[in-house]
Structure 1
Amino acid sequence: MPEWIHIIIRSLTALVTLFIFTRILGKKQISQLTFFEYVTGIAIGDLAGFASTDIEAHFGLGLLAMGVWFVVPLSIEFLSLKSKTIRMWFEGKGTVMIKDGKILEDNLKKERYTADELLEQLRTKSIFRVADVEFAMLESNGDLSVLLKSDMQPLTPKHMGMKLTTEKPAQAVISDGTIADEPLATAGKSRGWLHTELDKIGVTTENVFLGQVDSDGLLTVDLYDDKLKVPEPSQKPMLLATLKKCQADLELFSLTTQNEKAKTMYEQCSEELKQAIGLVETQLKS
């Protein structure tokens, strides 16, 4: 057998073996690696390379070596699930770098971290002042986890006492000009509804590269022809305007009626509708 064919066969075999090993070891092997995972990943990759190209060596011994480097970390992963001590030994533990807005210089030296490297890590998280940081920890995978001080954290709807509806993933109801019935059913819509919405914006299914229905039931589309302008969804602004008009009408009725009972009813309904508008106004404006 020619050597080049021999190398192709060995390379394909090593590639398949390496893929199987990686799949079994799990997603941690392709994410942020710990020290041990980094070492085993490099070793298995090097062994696969040598086994593929060194035709003078016994290929079975190369696979055996790869198997050893596969079994050992797999066994350690199972043991780490059972023992915190083993997990800390092989995966390490986090180191506190900043506490109460102050840098812990001894911990920086322990991790051989310079002030410039710490500031660089903070800048990647859009943080430019150490004094804004309440707590920062260098995780075992090398990532820096940061907690800002409470007065420096972004304002959220919860801080403002607002209640928002739960967002659900948008459903891709049209892909490459073809209607997808399963996502359409998941969104609680029908083909008739979809064609009606497309007619409103003046496009056909064949012209849509991607169409999505969000949790509010609004259809947004991306067309093949990017020069075409697609009207923005107007259902929510129209609903908000209608609610405000109804509330204004109720106030007008309460001012013009001579019947005291009707006046009280109109005022009460107007106030209740005003409160309801306040609860949903943010969502309807978005």
Structure 2
Amino acid sequence: MEYGTIISRTIVIYIVILLVFRFMGKREIGELSVVDFVISIMLAELAVLSIENVSVPLARQITPMLILMVIQISLAYISLKSRKLRKLIDGSPSVIIRNGKIDEKEMRKQRYNFDDLLLQLRQKDVRYMSDVEFAILEPSGDLSIIKKEEGKEQNPSAVSYLPLPLILDGRVQNDHLKEIGRNQLWLRQELRKLGYRDVKKISYCSLDRNDQLFIDLIDE
């Protein structure tokens, strides 16, 4: 009887965990943030306890899982509206290599050593450090690589910009403007030249390789 109960509880918990992750979205299945990782560990622990502790009603043990799901979905929804909360929950990417130069200070800040850097460069099929224009350590711990463009070595004075959003969800990102050596006045002047006067109508804006603004309007 006990084996039958364990088998049935295992099947039920498996279905519940599967549904919970499906409801939390595809983001949970891919690269996990710190919060996602904590939620995953807690769900795993609750699942094990639910299967092993057959004396406690299954409904009572499933309830904490559903509460975690509601918390995660609520945080995800609120973070869509609030960049500050999104930054607090997910963290911010860190630029480890900028314009072909390694930022040792940022590496120390992130407790990230050269062995970690070289390992992740090899995993990205990067043979030579000199091929890298930008390397960004994402909040998930993954390293994103932007290689130098062809002809960059022949023209080292050519400026490359980190592909950061200058406008996000209708809000100017002043810290990103500072990263590329520009200010809000320059951005608004460039937008007016292109016929855009209301920043709040812009969903996403960034500077491409040709110093041209890429603009995407909200709900268009």
Going from structure 1 to structure 2, the CA distance change for 1:131 and 1:46 (only over 3 Å counts) comes to same
Q: Who is 1:59 aligned against?
A: 58
Letter in 1 for 2:146: L
Q: SS of the residue aligned with 1:57? A: coil
SS of the residue corresponding to residue 59 of structure 2 reads helix
Measured in 1, the distance between the counterparts of 2:107 and 2:9 equals 46
1:32 to 1:152, Cα distance in 2 relative to 1, 3 A: farther
2:128 maps to 1:111: no
Match of 2:40 in 1: 41
Higher relative contact order structure (alpha carbons within 8 Å, sequence separation ≥ 6): 2
Task: Identify the residue that residue 93 of structure 2 maps to in structure 1.
Answer: 94
The structure with the greater share of residues assigned to helix is 1
TM superposition shift of 1:51: 0.6
Return the offset for 1:76. Answer: 0.5
2:149 and 2:72 map into 1 onto residues whose CA distance is 41
Distance 2:12 2:109 in 1: 43
> What's the CA shift for 1:152?
6.9
Match of 1:202 in 2: none
- For 2:84, the aligned partner's letter is T
Supply the distance in 2 between the matched residues of 1:28 and 1:147 (Cα, whole angstroms). 23
The CA distance in 1 between the partners of 2:120 and 2:64, in whole Å, is: 38
The Cα of 1:108 is off from its aligned counterpart by 0.7
Post-superposition shift, 1:151? 3.2
**What is the match of residue 150 of structure 2?**
151
1: CA distance between counterparts of 2:7 and 2:125? 48
Partners of 1:132 and 1:152 within 8 A in 2: no
**SS of corresponding position for 1:47:** helix
Q: Does 1:28 align with 2:27?
A: yes
Q: Which residue of 2 aligns with 1:124?
A: 123
Structure 1 counterpart of 2:94, one-letter code: T
Paired AA for residue 62 in structure 1: Q
CA RMSD of aligned residues (A): 1.5
Deviation at residue 59 of structure 1 after TM alignment: 2.1
Instruction: Determine the C-alpha separation between the residues in 1 that align with 2:151 and 2:46.
Output: 50
Unaligned runs of at least 5 residues, structure 2: 153-220
Describe the SS at the equivalent of 1:150: coil
Give how far 1:126 is off.
2.1
CA gap of 1:7–1:106, structure 2 versus 1, over 3 A, is same
Aligned counterpart, 1:273: none
Distance in 2 between residues matched to 1:152 and 1:77, nearest whole Å: 42
Give yes or no for the alignment of 1:78 onto 2:81. Answer: no
Matched to 1:128, the amino acid is: R
Report if the CA contact (8 A) 1:132-1:149 is conserved.
yes
Q: 2:146 aligns to what SS in structure 1?
A: strand
Q: Distance in 2 between matches of 1:75 and 1:22?
A: 14
Does 2:87 align with 1:69?
A: no
Q: How does 1:1-286 map to 2 (within 5 A)?
A: 2-151=1-150
SS in 2 for 1:65: helix
| Aligned residue in 2 for 1:223 | none
**One-letter code aligned to 1:127:** V
Alpha-carbon distance between aligned partners in 2 of 1:71 and 1:125, rounded to the nearest angstrom: 36
Alpha-carbon deviation of 1:78? 0.6
The change in CA–CA distance for 1:138 and 1:32 in structure 2 (over 3 A counts) is same
The size of the alignment, in residue pairs, is 152
CA drift of 1:61 comes to 1.8
Q: 1:11 offset after TM fit, Å?
A: 1.4
